[in-house]
Amino acid sequence: MIETDELLSIRAAELYYEENKTQDEIGSILRLTRWKVGRLLAQAKASGFIRIEIVHPRARRLPVERRLRDATGLTDAIVVSAAGVSGDDELQSRTAQAAADYLASLRPIPRTLGISWGRTLHDVSLHLKQDWAPGVNVVQINGGVSLNKRAGTAATTAVTIAHKASGSATLLPSPAILERLETKQAIESDRAVAAVLEMAAGASAYLYSAGQADEHSALVDSGYLTADQIAELVQKGAVGDIVGRYIDSAGNIVDPALDERTIGIGLDQLRAAKLAIAVIAGNSKHAVARAVVGSRLCSVLVTDEDTARAILGEDL
């Protein structure tokens, strides 16, 4: 009897989803009541015989979001579909679009938004619509003055986000990492820099991304670190960086000396923030995404479904 019901549920599902038959029509074909057809369809779905996939680029994976919130304690999780994605650039674009949508939906609107910089955040700024919010002031939370011509998105990102919100941008006029500790201390003691750091520490919300620990890091592209230096950090346990600070799988700083020469807010400030939105996507960032969520460096995560499943341990 159980096998008969299973076969009927599969047949009912085929007629309903593939032949576009109504439940009344299915009842007539299978000589069942409409109520019985409805029960068979529910049984097919509960048994995992039916898999519905929404393939629109802005589709979200709501069941994965629920599991992620329940398992990690995140305030919110936004998980985009990876269906039909042709490469990492498209996946990052989808995730950046989701982050832009989430940012625009925030209520209450953050009066001061602290942001990091990098390719992902730059993509978010491009996806934001004009007038996404009224009068949001944007402040850089870590140094980002370019050391070469290939990367120079820190100021552009902040200005773009602020301009589209009819607000103002406060830039941090400093490199991300200094070679000498005394130079970093001197810069931080400058009145203008200190004022920006104070504003960053008091931001209403934070928006930032994570960098992978390899030669493709934005900090390597920007000239702050070399590929060999990244390799040394990996040997110390680094899985990636947050606001320029390299962390291990438990969310701890892997190189205190390097961290002391890094300008910007500290990780403890992110952990203490009421609203800290991390935007992380791509296979190369699974490890750092696990570290960020596991060590509570964010309260909201915007990511792709493969990264979300990796955090949940469902990628095996």
Residue ranges making up the domain that contains 21: 2-46
CA distance 32 to 35: 8
For residue 248, give the amino acid letter.
D
| Shared-domain flag, residues 29 and 101 | no
Is residue 21 assigned to a domain? yes
Contact (CB, 8 A) for 311 and 72: yes
Q: Is 148 helix (H, G, I), strand (E, B) or coil?
A: coil
Total structural domains in the chain?
Answer: 2
| Shared-domain flag, residues 132 and 214 | yes
The answer to whether the Cα torsion of 103, 106, 109, 111 is positive or negative is negative
Is residue 144 assigned to a domain? yes
| Shared-domain flag, residues 36 and 121 | no
Q: Where are the alpha helices (DSSP H) in the chain?
A: 2-13, 23-30, 34-46, 62-72, 88-105, 119-127, 153-163, 181-189, 191-201, 218-221, 227-235, 256-260, 267-272, 286-294, 305-312
| Shared-domain flag, residues 32 and 106 | no
| Shared-domain flag, residues 6 and 128 | no
CATH code at 7?
Answer: 1.10.10
Q: What is residue 316's predicted lDDT score, i.e. its pLDDT?
A: 52
| Shared-domain flag, residues 26 and 150 | no
| Shared-domain flag, residues 124 and 155 | yes
| Shared-domain flag, residues 76 and 33 | no
| Shared-domain flag, residues 146 and 263 | yes
| Shared-domain flag, residues 250 and 206 | yes
Q: Where are the alpha helices (DSSP H) in 147-243?
A: 153-163, 181-189, 191-201, 218-221, 227-235
Is residue 57 assigned to a domain? no
Contact (CB, 8 A) for 119 and 222: no
CA distance 159 to 154: 9
CATH code at 249?
Answer: 3.40.50.1360
Is residue 55 assigned to a domain? no
pLDDT along the chain (316 residues), means of 10: 72 86 91 91 85 66 91 95 80 94 93 93 95 94 70 81 95 90 92 93 96 87 88 95 95 96 94 96 95 97 96 82
| Shared-domain flag, residues 115 and 39 | no
Contact (CB, 8 A) for 200 and 139: yes
| Shared-domain flag, residues 41 and 90 | no
Q: What is residue 147's predicted lDDT score, i.e. its pLDDT?
A: 57
Is residue 51 assigned to a domain? no
Is residue 83 assigned to a domain? yes
Is residue 196 assigned to a domain? yes
CA distance 7 to 14: 11
Is residue 53 assigned to a domain? no
Q: What is residue 149's predicted lDDT score, i.e. its pLDDT?
A: 47
